Amino acid sequence: MRQSLIEKLAVLKKFYQQSKRLLSYQELLSLWNFASKNAVYQIVQKLINEGFLTKDRVGKITPTNAFFSLNLYGEVPAGFPVPTPDENAELTSLEDYLIEKPNATFLLKVTGDSLKELGIMPGDLVLVEKTSEVKNGQVVLAQVDNEWTLKIFSKKRGKVILQAANKKYKPIKPKNNLSIYGVVKGVIRKYN
């Protein structure tokens, strides 16, 4: 993608971030400092062809998942320093990276520290995918005896035990009922 197109997309993303909407062709004239609606149309068409925008059934431009993508510059070790990453970035959307089933995925804010040894801390957001199919060792959203919790699923000799990842918490053994609502697929933490 040419540099000028990337710059136009960046300006459009900034506007969208501030206003939570895209502009009309008339408004794009002033945003991009163009004199001709045809020039705006050409840029919009290029952004549609690149997959960043689409048009709804009435012709209004709308963002796609790719519109929200970020530059992924490669890998960086968390150990010893290495040379600077290559500046050729690919674009990736956090939604595409984290969410396999958008219609079955939601966020929850974590309270409590029972999973801190797994790196799930109070205030984190967890991505939960609705499912009843669970494997040993997965972190699940469960309703145990009418109370909700996030714990590690473990099934031994036909009995389910929900484990914490913090030594100060005892395993939970359901007394009356247990419903597994979903599996944690990711953790999001914002640093200040």
Q: Which residues are catalytic?
A: 114, 151
User: DSSP label at 13?
Assistant: H
> What average pLDDT does the chain have?
86
Question: What single string gives the DSSP state of each residue in 76-116?
Answer: --SSS--SPPPS--EEE-HHHHH-S-GGGEEEEE--SSTTG
Answer whether 0.95 is exceeded by the pTM: no
Q: Which CATH class is domain 102-188?
A: mainly beta
Residue 149: its pLDDT value, please?
94
The β-bridge partners of 62 are: 54
Domain 1-97: CATH class, spelled out: mainly alpha
Average pLDDT estimate for 124-142? 93
- pLDDT for res 72: 65
CA distance linking residue 125 with residue 148, whole number of Å: 16
Evaluate if residue 171 carries a pLDDT over 90. Answer: yes
Q: pLDDT exceeding 70 applies to what percent of the chain?
A: 88
Q: Where in the chain is the domain with CATH 1.10.10.10?
A: 1-97
Q: Start-end ranges of CATH 2.10.109.10 in the chain?
A: 102-188
- How far is 117 from 112, CA to CA, in rounded Å? 12
Read off the pLDDT of residues 34-86 as tens digits, 9 standing for 90 and up. Answer: 888 898 899 999 999 988 899 888 888 888 888 887 666 666 667 666 666 55
* CA pair distance 82, 149, nearest whole angstrom: 41
